[in-house]
Amino acid sequence: MSEEHYYLELCENPVQFENASSVNNVFFDEANKQVFAVRSGGATGVVVKGPEDKSSVAFRMDDKGEVKCIKFSIGNKILAVQRTPKSVDFINFIPDYPHLEFSQECKMKNASILGFCWTNWNEIVFITDQGIEFYQVLPDKRSLKLLKSQSINVNWYMYCPETAVILLSTTFQGNVLQPFAFKSGTMSKMSKFEIELPVVPKPAKLNLSERDIAVANIYGQLYVMYLKHHSRTTDSPCAEVVLYQLPREGSVKKTNVLKLNTTGKFALNVVDNLVVVHHQSTQTSIIFDIKLREPDCALNVHQPVLPPRSIHPYRIPLTGIGFLTCSVCSPSASGYQWYLQVKLPPTVNLLQDKGKLIDFLLRRRDCKMVILSVCSQMLNGEDKGSLTVVATVFDKLNQVFKEYLEAEQTYTVAMESGPSRGSTARERPVRTQAVIDQSDMYTHVLSSFTEKKDISHKFIIAVLMEYIRSLNQVQITVQHYLYELVIKTLVHHSLFYMLHQFLQYHVLSDSKPLACLLLSLEGTYPAAHQLSLDMLKRLSTANDEIVEVLLSKQQVLGALRFIRSVGGNDNISARKFLDAALQTADQMLFYTIFRFFEQRNLRLRGSPCFNLGEHCEEHVVYFKQVFGEQALMKQATV
């Protein structure tokens, strides 16, 4: 199967344990993304591996019984090991601290520890069948301090390390869930809620299993995902995933339903804010994006974004015998811990709706080059989209660009004004790959697009103008190089009338670089010279450029009239104008310009003579040679 078929793949660095068959137990710590391989016999050997080889740790500890759970605190500072239902053992891994074990029993009598979670480098929560106990670990004293506890009947629990929220299953059916949030030594009780179980024929009763629940942080919000299996006797027996949003304060709400359109056994992951659902019997996976909302629906019901696909098999190099090909469900994958990632390029051809595709890509991590390739594809070849589709895509990209620019401006203003009383420190906005600016679009899409020989020049110009319209719509200043691209394209196809119209009606905004470009086109399009001068005049800050342009065309009197019209004749350089007049070889023009500056000198300084600093000595000599010394203006006498 081709590479384009797969949009999910296993990452390039699977966690592998040598001699996996000799490992007694393997534990995965989601908070630290670590895998613990435990081998017992005499002393207990432990190998800890993460997604990078440099994070590997190996050590031995006394064999005090079967290890039921083992986890490092954040930063690998303290190790916690549970061997019995009543207590948890601790070992310091902090440099210069004694490498000795100490233990803590749960406080509640007759309670059994179901597990534990680190919420900070020195804070840990015991979850028992009778409640939770929140402790601070004191490594220097080799003891624990109880911070807070809560009595509640617990069937099972789940932990979300990103948000430090523990979810407890309570009641007989297990479908009433009580979340607790932890932060900096505090424990907060959040709103409890009930999972709506499917209806089953009487007298059967259904209990909520932890296998059907997952907790995840999606787009910065905490969700509980419930894998709901309907009875085969119902009208729609297909399974679905129901999402409940858990706010820090306020009631929990059922917000999304993901339609799986099949039955069977499933597993859930969240990758790059996408909910990935794996179907065991077909060995395929589907993905959902809860931000892709269905219209006119209070409770968002979602279909898969893309068709079902299997996960790309991974080839593991083996010394001397080639490669071992592994898929997630293959026996050869034993002894490996995999990380899943989304491949964006294959999604381009699987999602035909370009607007929906751009919405999907803009929310992904490594999206920039894929989005730019979509834009190129949309403008070229068989996949060429209509102008309406092109406009939709441009508007979506520029809206994200505008939001970033506004956030950056707000941050800059806040920094310049200084912190206000009671305000929190403002963080600089992060420029994600979703920010596609004018330079990106020009470099990777538009410049090469305008050079295409097999595309109508009308379509090319329409696309360029559509991008400019989109920028103007969100009030983003259009960069001059985009206008230059339009002008060069119009000139290349000899569309001078259209160019004239664009400039006359200010479709192309005035700028000095644009005026200079027009000047360079005078040989091809003579009217460009006057259009350039008109543009420079409108700019009002380009007087020097206008003078330079006129002098370069030997229009010395025109330059002088212009500078007098804007009131700048008292400050202009006499030498510059006299040089220009001299180059025309027109003696009477030189006489007129020379006489103008003599009169200016007389008016400003009371003498027609030039100052030494004006460096006009050679011009005075020339004037005397041609017209005679008697032609020089005489100084006025009182």
Q: What is the pLDDT of residues 21-64, one digit of tens each?
A: 566 788 888 888 888 888 876 678 888 887 776 668 888 888 88
The pLDDT, as a whole number, for residue 448 is 93
Same domain, 32 and 145: yes
pLDDT higher than threshold 70 for residue 336: no
**Helix, strand, coil content of the chain in percent (nearest 5):** 35, 25, 40
Is the domain of 125 the same as that of 230?
no
Q: Are residues 3 and 23 in the same domain?
A: no
Residues 196 and 335 in one domain: yes
Q: What pLDDT score does 382 carry?
A: 64
Q: What does pLDDT average to over the chain?
A: 87
Tokens of 299: 């409770």
> Which of 385, 401, 378, 374 has its CA nearest to residue 472?
401
Q: Is residue 423 part of a domain?
A: no
- Between residues 607 and 10, the one the model is more confident about: 607
Compute the distance between CA of residue 407 and CA of residue 396 in angstroms, rounded to an integer: 17
Phi and psi of 440, rounded to 5°? -60, -50
**287 and 250 belong to one structural domain:** yes
According to the model, what pLDDT value does residue 164 have? 95
Same domain, 239 and 138: no
Rounded Cα gap, residues 502 and 535, in angstroms: 12
For residue 502, give both structure tokens: 């664009």
In this structure, the answer to whether residues 295 and 231 fall within a common structural domain is yes
* Residue 514 located in a structural domain: no
Nearest partner of 478 among 505, 450, 456, 506, judged by Cα: 506
Cβ 393 vs Cβ 375: under 8 Å: yes
Q: Residue 328 — pLDDT band, cuts 50, 70, 90?
A: low
Query: Mean of the pLDDT values across residues 314-318?
Result: 65
Say what the pLDDT of residue 332 is: 45
Q: Work out the angle at residue 99's Cα, subtended by the Cα atoms of residues 96 and 101, and round it to the nearest 5 degrees.
A: 140
pLDDT at res. 473: 96
Residue 424 maps to a domain: no
Check whether residue 273 and residue 139 sit in a common domain.
no
Over residues 586-597, the pLDDT tens digits come to 999 999 999 999
Kindly report whether the peptide bond that precedes residue 203 is cis, defined as omega within 30 degrees of 0: yes
Give domain status of residue 433, yes or no: no
- pLDDT for 86 equals 96
pLDDT tens, 220-246? 999 999 999 987 766 678 999 999 999
- Statement: residue 155 has pLDDT above 70: yes
Domain identity same for 256 and 237:
yes
Does residue 210 share a domain with residue 125?
no
Q: Provide the number of structural domains found in the chain.
A: 3
Domain presence at residue 340: yes
Residue 283 lies in a domain: yes
Distance CA 35, CA 47 (A): 8
**Residues 414-451: tens digit of each pLDDT:** 888 877 666 667 788 999 999 999 999 999 999 999 99
143 within some domain:
yes
The per-residue pLDDT for 330 is 47
What average pLDDT does range 447-459 have in this prediction? 91
Per-residue pLDDT, 331: 43
Q: Are residues 55 and 196 both part of a single domain?
A: no
Residues 94 and 72 in one domain: yes
- The total number of residues shown for the chain amounts to 638
Q: Please count the other Cβ atoms lying within 10 Å of the Cβ belonging to residue 433.
A: 15
Residue 365 domain-assigned (yes or no): no
Predicted local distance difference test score (pLDDT) of residue 203: 64
Span 257-307, pLDDT tens digits: 999 999 999 999 999 999 999 999 999 999 999 998 766 665 789 999 999
Please give the distance of CA 628 from its chain centroid, rounded to a whole number: 76
- CATH number of the domain at 33, please: 2.130.10.10
Give yes or no for residue 453 having a pLDDT over 80.
yes
The residue that leads in pLDDT, 96 or 159, is 159
How much is the pLDDT for 234?
A: 66
Domain interval for residue 74 = 18-154
